[in-house]
Structures are given as C-alpha cells and as structure tokens.
C-alpha cells in the first residue's frame, strides 16, 4: 500500500521477453522513479483477465513522473500522470 | 533517443520515431465492417465468451508485420477469430466454410 506523496519506482521488469503476457505498464516508465498522487481503487488484474484466469483485485495508483526523467529532450518541468498497478511499484 | 529496451512491438507510446510523424486528427466515419466487428465483440462479451482484456491480449499477440499492416478493426477481428478458434467456439472447418461461401 502506498500513500499520496510517496516516492515510488516502477519495477524494471520485462515479462514480455519471457513469453506471452498482457501488461498495462508502458515500457518507458520501467525503472523510472515518480510520485504517488492518489489511489484510484482496486481492480481485477488485467494481466490475468487477459488470459481468462481468475483475477485478484489490485490497487491502482495515479503516479506522476517528471518527463525529463523519461525523455531527456522533454521540457524539464513537464509532467506525465499515468495509472500503474501496485504490483509494478516498489520503494526505491 | 530511445533506450535499448525489450519493449513489445505494440507498446508504441513514447517511441521517438513518432515525434516526426504528423498525427492524423481528422474524424473518420465507421464503415459497415467496423460496426459489424464492434457488434460481434459486444455479443461475445454479453455471452461471456470474450472479454475486452482478452481482445487486447489477442491484438498484442498479432505478429509485428501483420500488426502494422492491419487497420484498427482488422486487428479486432483477427484477435476475435484467434480467440474463438483457440477456445473451440468455432472450428477451422466452420470458419473456412463461411469464408468460402461469402
């Protein structure tokens, strides 16, 4: 469980390299550090739903990133806000 | 520059080559084909034969060459067909018979 304002890092994991998966964490935020803005609720894990498997409900967060941390050519104070499931987040 | 990563071919967000391509923002009407594919997907969901997540997973599983060549709803029907064949709702013989009759 993460609180608003907490610093988090998206796991630098690449399950797509190991076989068929369905994941909602875009490649460009993996391994990047951001800040939790809010918890959006808990939702059935699409990684399991996509394969017709029973799916656990997992917390989903709005996480804010400085765009410069992702794309060096971005304006430094531009922000990116995206939804990321809890199991993709870790404390840096 | 993009990081050297193992991104899947459908994971296109933020890939720098698209920064140089003009974004098509014109509205596009739906064709009869598009509507039919959408209706089919809604029927399959109502009958609990296929979820949106399964649709997305099937789209992502289309090999890169076909993925880039196919249009939006063509990817849908490819995913739907793969799913129905895999789950045994339809057989290859049935699919072939319908396509040949069309």
CA B60 from centre of chain: 8
A50 to B8: CB separation less than 8 angstroms, yes or no: no
Is residue A2 in a domain? no
Q: What is the pLDDT of residues B76-93, one digit of tens each?
A: 999 999 999 999 999 999
A26 to B56: CB separation less than 8 angstroms, yes or no: no
Alpha carbons A70 and B97: distance in angstroms, whole number: 51
Is residue A58 in a domain? yes
Is residue A1 in a domain? no
**What ranges do the domains of chain B cover?**
24-101
ipTM score for this prediction: 0.87
* Whole-structure pTM value: 0.89
Fold observed for domain B24-101: Cyclin A; domain 1 (1.10.472)
Here the CATH number for the domain that contains residue A71 is: 2.30.30.50
> Domain containing A30: what range?
7-90
B16 to A71: CB separation less than 8 angstroms, yes or no: yes
Is residue A83 in a domain? yes
- Tally the residues of chain A: 92
Nearest CA in chain A to B48: A52
If one counts the domains in chain A, the total is 1
């Amino acid at each position: 469980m993460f609180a608003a304002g907490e610093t988090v890092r998206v796991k630098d994991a690449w399950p797509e390299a190991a076989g068929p998966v369905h994941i909602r964490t875009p490649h460009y935020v993996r391994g990047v550090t951001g800040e939790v803005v809010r918890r959006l609720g808990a939702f059935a894990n699409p990684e399991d739903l996509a394969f017709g498997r029973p799916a656990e409900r997992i917390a989903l967060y709005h996480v804010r990133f400085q765009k410069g941390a992702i794309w060096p050519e971005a304006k430094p104070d531009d922000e990116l806000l995206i939804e990321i499931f809890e199991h993709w987040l870790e404390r840096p | 520059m993009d990081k050297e990563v193992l991104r899947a071919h459908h994971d296109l967000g933020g890939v720098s080559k698209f920064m140089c391509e003009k974004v098509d923002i014109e509205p596009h009407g739906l064709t009869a084909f598009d509507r039919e594919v959408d209706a089919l997907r809604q029927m399959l969901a109502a009958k609990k034969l296929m979820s949106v997540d399964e649709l997305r997973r099937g789209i992502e599983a289309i090999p890169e060459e076909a993925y880039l060549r196919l249009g939006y709803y063509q990817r849908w029907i490819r995913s739907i067909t793969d799913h129905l064949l895999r789950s045994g709702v339809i057989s290859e013989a049935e699919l072939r018979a319908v396509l040949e009759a069309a």
